[in-house]
């Protein structure tokens, strides 16, 4: 089998990347021109703290416009700060924004959920009739949290914000759309996906479970601790894949055939495989425009 030396190109241009997650939000830009028709501006800072029991395992943040920053600590509390910015066309629109866009908090034994709610959310019961396009205001919420290190995290945002996580050891599920993802000094397993932005991840302990990392427009950079043993699956179109680790090429997966309506439908796996060490959990990395780099932590 082919032995791919460190820092050598280990994959070539492959297939098309298919976006698996839809976007159910109206994109907003954060440059000043976007608010030229919204002269009114009001800011508010929300601060809260939550005591977590041992059974309290998961933090979920579902944002729409704004950034999310999470830092792990040795405390058993979650310290929350939200910087809320409202821009509006008029004072009545400002009052409507205050009433219609809320931060809903669910505090349960196994879940702390922070949910930005508003008319932009699709309510399946009313056929999405609540959203009528431009409502004459914009609400941005930027989250900053200190959390227990071993907390599992599920983070989502859509427009005008990045997601940064530092020093968290639990499982992670991180999704962005118009912004990058940066996970530093983490020790769990999970997934990190965005559309327009880079994905950068640095592990203090290598993943023990299957994990995946993807973007459409941006680089994917994964930095692992020494002693890595894993099976990689790579897919890119306009970019290359590089590795600091020696890899042994894995055989392509078999084509899946499905019979439908009297016809056979064949689906091929367009990923290139590479094994580091003796193999282990599957690490999947994919993008469309950008490079993929697998680095060794120094």
> pLDDT tens, 132-149?
557 899 999 999 999 999
Report the pLDDT value the prediction gives residue 275, as an integer from 0 to 100.
96
φ/ψ of residue 63, rounded to 5: -100, 170
Minimal CA–CA distance to 192: which of 296, 284, 66?
A: 284
Q: pLDDT tens, 205-225? A: 999 999 999 999 999 999 999
Q: How many domains does the chain have?
A: 1
Rounded Cα distance, 224 and 206, in Å: 6
Report the pLDDT value the prediction gives residue 52, as an integer from 0 to 100.
83
Report the pLDDT value the prediction gives residue 10, as an integer from 0 to 100.
39
Report the pLDDT value the prediction gives residue 4, as an integer from 0 to 100.
43
Report the pLDDT value the prediction gives residue 201, as an integer from 0 to 100.
98
Report the pLDDT value the prediction gives residue 264, as an integer from 0 to 100.
61
The whole domain housing 97 covers: 3-296
Tokens of 123: 């309510």
Report the pLDDT value the prediction gives residue 180, as an integer from 0 to 100.
98
Cα separation values, 130 from 27, 95, 114, 124, 180, Å: 17, 18, 21, 10, 30
Spans of the chain, pLDDT less than 50 = 1-32, 126-130, 268
């Amino acid at each position: 089998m082919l032995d791919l030396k460190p820092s050598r190109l280990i994959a070539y241009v492959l297939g098309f990347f298919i976006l698996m997650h839809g976007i159910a939000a109206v994109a907003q830009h954060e440059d000043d021109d976007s608010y030229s028709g919204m002269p009114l501006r009001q800011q508010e800072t929300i601060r809260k703290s939550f005591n977590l029991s041992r059974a309290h395992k998961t933090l979920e943040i579902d944002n729409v416009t704004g950034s999310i920053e999470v830092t792990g600590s040795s405390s058993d509390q979650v310290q929350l700060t939200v910087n809320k910015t409202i821009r509006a066309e008029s004072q009545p629109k400002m009052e409507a924004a205050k009433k219609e866009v809320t931060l809903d908090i669910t505090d349960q034994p196994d879940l702390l959920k922070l949910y930005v709610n508003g008319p932009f959310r699709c309510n399946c019961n009313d056929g999405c009739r609540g959203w009528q396009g431009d409502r004459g205001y914009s609400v941005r919420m930027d989250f900053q949290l200190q959390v227990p290190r071993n907390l599992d995290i599920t983070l989502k945002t859509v427009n005008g914000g990045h997601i940064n996580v530092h020093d968290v050891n639990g499982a992670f599920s991180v999704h962005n759309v118009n912004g990058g993802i940066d996970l530093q000094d983490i020790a769990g397993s999970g997934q990190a996906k965005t559309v327009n932005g880079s994905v950068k991840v640095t592990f203090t302990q290598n993943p023990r479970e299957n994990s995946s990392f993807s973007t459409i427009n941006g680089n994917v950079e994964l930095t692992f601790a020494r002693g890595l043993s894993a099976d990689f699956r790579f897919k890119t179109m306009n970019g290359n894949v590089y590795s600091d680790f020696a890899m042994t090429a894995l055989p392509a997966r078999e084509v899946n055939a499905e019979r439908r309506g009297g016809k056979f439908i064949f689906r091929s796996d367009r990923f290139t495989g590479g094994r580091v060490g003796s193999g282990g959990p599957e690490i999947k990395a994919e993008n469309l425009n950008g490079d993929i780099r697998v680095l060794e932590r120094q």
